[in-house]
């Protein structure tokens, strides 16, 4: 005798709020505000090192242009040419006093256009045929995370979101950043 379990997800449209798994979720048109940016506490793969120290440097900060407009800016130095580049990102929502896993973009390699898109918005020299970042010193442009998120979706669940994003090669994490944002309704 075979038993089959069927999971039924019921989403009831309540206008600006929806009920998902018995929990009211407020979502709609939004604005993403940057709260905090920092290096990752732990990376998936070890970071590359040379005898005197790290062989890659990455610095990023939040620049507040006004009370309602903030950007990410920074520098990236790649001492070596890196091929076989991949990307992964996991987001967490702040719920019930702790971070809970929300959305994951698992291992994305050069076959996916996301890598080329990231290289373009971060102003990094990228060779899609070799799936590689070219060595060099890069100044990251004033990156508007609100605009980047609106390229993906026009509606979001409101609340605090923590993003952990890593750029890796086969053996190392080149850089990893944790970015905390606040997704608020547009007024």
Residue 110: CB atoms within 10 Å: 20
Does residue 16 sit within a domain? no
Q: Which of 131, 122, 130, 129 is nearest to 177 (CA)?
A: 122
The pLDDT score that the predictor gives to residue 163 is 95
Q: Which of 58, 61, 16, 13 is nearest to 37 (CA)?
A: 61
Interval 62-73: pLDDT, tens: 998 887 788 999
CATH of residue 42's domain is 2.70.220
Q: What angle do CA 181, 134, 89 make, to 5 degrees?
A: 25
**Number of domains, the chain:** 1
Interval 111-168: pLDDT, tens: 888 888 888 888 888 888 888 888 889 888 898 989 988 888 899 899 999 999 998 8
Per-residue pLDDT for 40 more than 80? Answer: yes
Identify which has the larger pLDDT, 130 or 13. Answer: 130
Domain of residue 76, residue span = 29-185
Distance CA 180, CA 178 (A): 7
Distance CA 158, CA 148 (A): 17
Residue 50's pLDDT band, with cuts at 50, 70 and 90, is low
Does residue 24 sit within a domain? no
What element of type H or E holds 115? helix 114-121
């Amino acid at each position: 005798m075979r038993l089959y379990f069927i999971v039924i997800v019921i989403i009831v449209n309540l206008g600006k709020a929806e009920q998902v798994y018995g929990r009211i979720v407020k979502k709609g048109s939004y604005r993403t505000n940057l709260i905090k940016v920092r290096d990752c506490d732990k990376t998936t793969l070890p970071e590359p090192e040379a005898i005197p120290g790290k062989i890659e440097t990455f610095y990023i900060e939040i620049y507040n242009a006004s009370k309602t407009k903030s950007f990410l800016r920074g520098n990236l130095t790649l001492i070596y040419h890196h091929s076989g580049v991949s990307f992964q990102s996991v987001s967490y929502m702040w719920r019930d006093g702790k971070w809970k896993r929300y959305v994951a973009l698992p291992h994305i390699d050069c076959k996916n256009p996301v890598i080329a898109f990231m290289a373009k918005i971060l102003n990094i020299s990228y060779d899609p045929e070799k799936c590689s970042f070219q060595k060099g010193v890069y100044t990251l442009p004033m990156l508007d995370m609100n605009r980047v998120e609106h390229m993906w979706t026009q509606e979001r669940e409101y609340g605090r979101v923590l993003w952990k994003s890593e750029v890796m090669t086969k053996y190392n994490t080149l850089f990893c950043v944790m970015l905390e944002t606040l997704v608020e309704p547009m007024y």
